[in-house]
């Protein structure tokens, strides 16, 4: 297994595409870890709770100030106010004539038309006029509505067998789904990237904003002494940012389950505040998927020699997950004969599919490209890549156990 291999099926994909069949729960595996939340601003704290399905980088940006629990402010007792405010506001109500009123949100600079003093709803607050009132009289009401925020979650598939301490950190709000493949070049600090399985772009260096996406890539070298290696390969994916009204507990499930919830301690959030966090994948689930990906890659490399897989369709992901299903079933201790046979057959069919793809008998949508300045990927069969002396990768320098693809 080469560290140049991509993870063809991530834990998150397994949960959302295949896992329902197993009725999986994160507490059935060694748990992934959740980092502390970094909060910039003056509003209330946010915590990330529960167990993550995968490795994520998340960011939450507060776009509208408000409270975790909306409330109606003190008011004249001749008014009865009920309901749940949808916005934070202060308004003046002026009695214009017997049985009529108008309102203003800017201290009387601008007024609405006059309305009957029947029950009226303004921004979620129902107003009942109990009276008595005097023509020309002005009454003030106020309410604090929910804060509003935008969440962006990136799923990160790290390089398999990575030797260094470097990391790629994505950031930025996005309006649609993206999947980005990143491969480190043989030249220090340079990398190539592909967006949604498209043509490779590069070499690029440093902090990079990907045109037209809103995504910025920042490279964190870590503690060293080795930071990155040629061929280190990341897959970043996001389903797009989504806006929500803040409540005490927000489930991060749009558009797919993450296993996480955001807990806001309240009472108030402030526009412009930001919160960031990261998680790691359940290690034993990740280990099984790395093994299944390596097995599938052994089939695919027969067809895509000296190329990097920059994009693939769900048939590749699902069949990789099916190969892993056998091991998963054994790990969970489910040894009923009927079920074991079902998943053994499923894995065998997935391996046969991979073999047919390698022989060009099946044709999934795969974008595979050679990358100038990047060492060609290779497969190690039956050996730990950490135990292989890689050398400069010339044809005459392949270590024992490497095969030229």
Q: Measure the CA–CA gap between 193 and 2, rounded to whole angstroms.
A: 19
CA 138 from centroid of its chain's CA atoms = 50
Paired tokens of 286: 């990740």
Residue that wins the pLDDT comparison between 35 and 163: 35
Instruction: Give the pLDDT confidence of 177-215 residue by residue, as tens digits.
Output: 999 988 888 777 788 888 988 888 888 888 899 999 999
Distance CA 67, CA 89 (A): 12
- Per-residue confidence (pLDDT) for residue 339, from 0 to 100: 66
Cα separations in angstroms, 267 against 43, 86, 115, 221, 257: 8, 16, 35, 38, 27
What are 84-115's pLDDT values in tens digits?
999 999 999 999 999 999 999 999 999 999 99
Query: Residue 268 and residue 67: Cα distance in Å, rounded?
Result: 4
Question: Do the bridges between strand 201-205 and strand 138-144 make them parallel or antiparallel, or are there none, so unpaired?
Answer: unpaired
Q: C-alpha 12: how far from its chain's center?
A: 9
- CA Rg, the chain, in Å? 28
Beta strands, E only, 291-389: 308-312, 366-369, 379-380
pLDDT tens, residue by residue, 58-94: 999 999 999 999 999 999 999 999 999 999 999 999 9
Position 24 confidence tier, pLDDT thresholds 50, 70, 90: low
Question: Are 145 and 221 spatial neighbours (Cβ–Cβ below 8 Å)?
Answer: no
Closest of 344, 294, 299 to residue 322, by C-alpha: 344
Alpha helix positions (H), 8-129: 11-13
pLDDT of residue 6: 81
> Cα angle vertex 246, ends 236, 19, to 5°?
45
> In this predicted structure, what is the pLDDT of residue 332?
65
Q: Which two tokens stand for residue 156?
A: 């990160």
Which candidate, 198, 150, 200, places its Cα nearest to that of 175?
A: 150
The pLDDT score that the predictor gives to residue 259 is: 85
Alpha-carbon distance of 120 to 131, in angstroms, equals: 15
- Comparing CA positions, the residue from 56, 25, 29, 21 lying closest to residue 289 is 29
Place 398 in a pLDDT band, splitting at 50, 70 and 90.
very low
Which helix H or strand E contains 308, and what residues bound it? strand 308-312
């Amino acid at each position: 297994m080469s560290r140049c291999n991509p993870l063809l099926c991530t834990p998150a994909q397994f949960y959302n595409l295949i896992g329902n069949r197993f009725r999986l729960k994160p507490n059935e595996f060694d748990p992934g870890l959740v980092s502390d939340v970094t909060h910039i601003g003056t509003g209330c704290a946010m915590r990330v709770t529960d167990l993550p399905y995968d490795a994520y980088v998340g960011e939450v940006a507060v776009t509208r100030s408000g409270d975790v629990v909306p409330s109606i402010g003190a008011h004249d007792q001749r008014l009865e106010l009920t309901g749940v405010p949808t916005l934070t506001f202060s308004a003046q109500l002026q009695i214009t004539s017997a049985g009529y009123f108008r309102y203003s949100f800017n201290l009387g600079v601008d007024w609405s038309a006059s309305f009957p003093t029947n029950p009226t709803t303004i921004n979620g607050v129902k107003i009942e006029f109990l009276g008595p009132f005097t023509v020309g009289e002005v009454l003030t009401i106020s309410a604090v509505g929910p804060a509003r925020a935008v969440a962006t979650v990136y799923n990160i598939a790290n390089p398999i067998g990575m030797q260094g301490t470097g990391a790629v950190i994505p950031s930025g709000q996005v309006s649609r789904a993206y999947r980005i493949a990143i491969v480190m070049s043989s030249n220090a600090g340079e990398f190539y990237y592909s967006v949604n399985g498209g043509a490779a772009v590069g070499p690029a260096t440093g902090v990079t904003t990907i045109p037209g996406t809103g995504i910025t890539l920042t490279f964190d070298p870590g503690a060293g002494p080795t930071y990155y290696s040629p061929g280190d390969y990341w897959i970043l994916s996001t389903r797009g940012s989504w806006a929500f009204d803040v409540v005490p507990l927000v489930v991060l499930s749009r558009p797919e389950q993450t296993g996480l919830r955001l807990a806001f301690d309240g009472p108030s959030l402030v526009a412009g505040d930001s919160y960031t966090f990261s998680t790691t994948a359940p290690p034993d689930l990740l280990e099984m998927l790395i093994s299944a990906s390596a097995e599938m890659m052994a089939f695919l490399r027969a067809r895509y020699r000296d190329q990097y897989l920059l994009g693939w369709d769900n048939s590749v992901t699902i069949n990789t997950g099916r190969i892993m299903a056998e091991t998963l079933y054994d790990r969970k201790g489910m040894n009923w004969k009927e079920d074991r046979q079902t998943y053994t057959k499923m894995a065998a069919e997935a391996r046969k599919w991979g073999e047919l793809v390698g022989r060009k008998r099946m044709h999934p949508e795969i974008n595979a490209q050679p990358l100038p300045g990047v060492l060609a990927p290779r497969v190690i069969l039956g050996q730990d890549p950490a135990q292989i002396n890689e050398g400069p990768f010339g044809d005459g320098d392949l270590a024992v156990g490497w095969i030229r693809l």
